[in-house]
Chains A and B, each alone.
Chain A
């Protein structure tokens, strides 16, 4: 009865927009096609086309956007859809990175083979963290997760764990190259791998949210009391969501480690967690496309901030240099002004506006 197709049923449509921001299946397919486009372009030299249309560096950036999108998705599942705030998701990102790195460095596993172990480890970690966190709400949960982000670098340096983590030196990893003589450069291959991991994760999350479980998650966020009276086991759901969220972000961390071939405690500062939070909010809370927008946003904003700061400094001749982080801060505030519900929310509003004007002009 209540399907996700856009019927006249207002409630259903509202629920769809909760996590799809009005994106239909076709839009998703379009997104995947867009994501595959760089690969096709990259393969052009094979059929005699121009080489290096898309540089290796661009592929690195594209891969990073996807990795951040996955990380933001993990956070969004927890915070956006389930209402549990986390200021420390960088910790799970680091955990995923280190599990993968340790297996690769100490046991010579192929990088991608570590992903199931990473997923399991981070799920258990998140679940265990989620259990006591149930008693903590709002600001207390914020503090707990904030603390986790602070603690992780310290744990990685802990004397008795140095054998596994490499201590302050970190671990170096081998380069991931395309197997079987496939005609991809390492960066192109990494991009493909990242994409191949990202698509099922998004697909899985979408279906999860579309299911009874997903509705239960959102019911817990919106109406915890009512959800409890309806027989939803809140604590189990919350802990499992924590586990799934940590799992997804952890996988992103493992991919990130493979891309950079190096893990060290300094690679996962508190700022990383803040970056995910910013990506989630700016992209759009409780929105799957929002996670993608957020991932892209956090990857491009710093570069833009840097170039804007440079050009402003060279044209304005102020007594002090304008620093990129000033621009970054102003950009964040402006974005929240313009789109308080994130880019996904902004797009949805724009579409509604356009639909309304279209309908009006149609009737008149």
Chain B
């Protein structure tokens, strides 16, 4: 039983990582209809920037906002200078552009900072409390940050004119344009926000998995799965999806373990847990094609 609780707790902690990245993926999807495969490496690059500022002696709480702003600018710049001229290109061509960006960020980080892992300090204060074995301070901080980010986004979209304009631009560009919304800038803004969220995600992930150019490679897949299972267009769903994927994976290997202990038969373990987790996610998606929390979109003929 204790192991089960630990596994769920660890799953939730990992889930927070996936949720954060899923949130960034959803931001870009909502505003541009693209799934940005370069999101993970962009977040990794931002995390390296934070680390670099820390090396230069800056306080973390000063470094993070600076990097969030820098990332926002990088995101906007990518949209304006790289994707804007391609708005007519086929979707798969855009995917190839993302692959290009992904390799550029990976190799740049490697060239600048090397491929050796670096420890990344947790920004959250260390303190002891009962149950710290299940959730460390960093894990709690990670989960809280993710939820706060979600609430901020929710408030932004719901209560600010800019958020409203972004939603309008995404849902009905033509009408939005007539209403005076600068639709093209809204897309860039979506990219900027996604990159900024990614910067936070990268900074939260780095203390757990260590800072290195590959650090987001596998997390991107989990974030992708989380975003889809939550319904790709819903930020709340993406966060929930991230947590679900994190817990699901741990439970699979836990049950494989239980079965092996009871019967002595090896069926499933840590070697295959990811495959099985993905199988379950996909099965769910075939049954609920709009994701668990997405709205069903009616196809127009």
Contact = CB atoms under 8 A, between A and B. Distances in A.
Interface of A: 79, 85, 132, 135-137, 139-140, 142-144, 146-147, 150-151, 154-155, 157-160, 225, 274, 277-278, 280-282, 285, 320-326, 328-333, 335-337, 340-342
B84 to A, nearest CB: 11
B111 A322 contact: yes
The DSSP consensus for interface residues of chain A is: helix
A325 B104 contact: yes
A122 to B, nearest CB: 19
A285 to B, nearest CB: 6
Interface of B: 35, 82, 85-86, 88-90, 92-97, 99-104, 106-108, 110-112, 221, 224-225, 228, 232, 266, 271-272, 274-275, 278-279, 281-283, 285-286, 289, 301
16 contacts: A79-B92, A143-B225, A143-B278, A144-B285, A154-B271, A154-B274, A158-B271, A277-B92, A281-B95, A320-B112, A323-B111, A326-B108, A332-B103, A336-B89, A336-B96, A336-B100
A325 B107 contact: yes
B104 A330 contact: yes
Contact of B92 (A85, A155, A337): A85
Contact of B274 (A143, A151, A322): A151
A337 B271 contact: no
B269 to A, nearest CB: 8
A142 B99 CA distance: 14
A333 B97 contact: yes
Contacts of B92: 79, 85, 277, 280-281, 285
Specify which of B100, B101, B110 lies most central, judged by the most chain A CB atoms within 10 Å of its CB.
Answer: B100
B240 to A, nearest CB: 17
B271 A277 contact: no
A143 B102 contact: no
Contacts of A335: 96
B86 to A, nearest CB: 7
Nearest to B276: A151
B295 to A, nearest CB: 15
Nearest to B287: A135
A333 B271 CA distance: 36
A350 B283 CA distance: 46
Contacts of B282: 132, 136, 140, 143-144, 147
A137 B112 CA distance: 40
Contact of B103 (A85, A143, A329, A337): A329
A281 B96 contact: yes
Contacts of A328: 100, 103
A159 B102 CA distance: 34
Name the 10 nearest CB pairs between A and B, nearest first. A332-B100, A329-B104, A151-B275, A325-B107, A147-B278, A323-B107, A329-B103, A340-B89, A329-B100, A333-B100
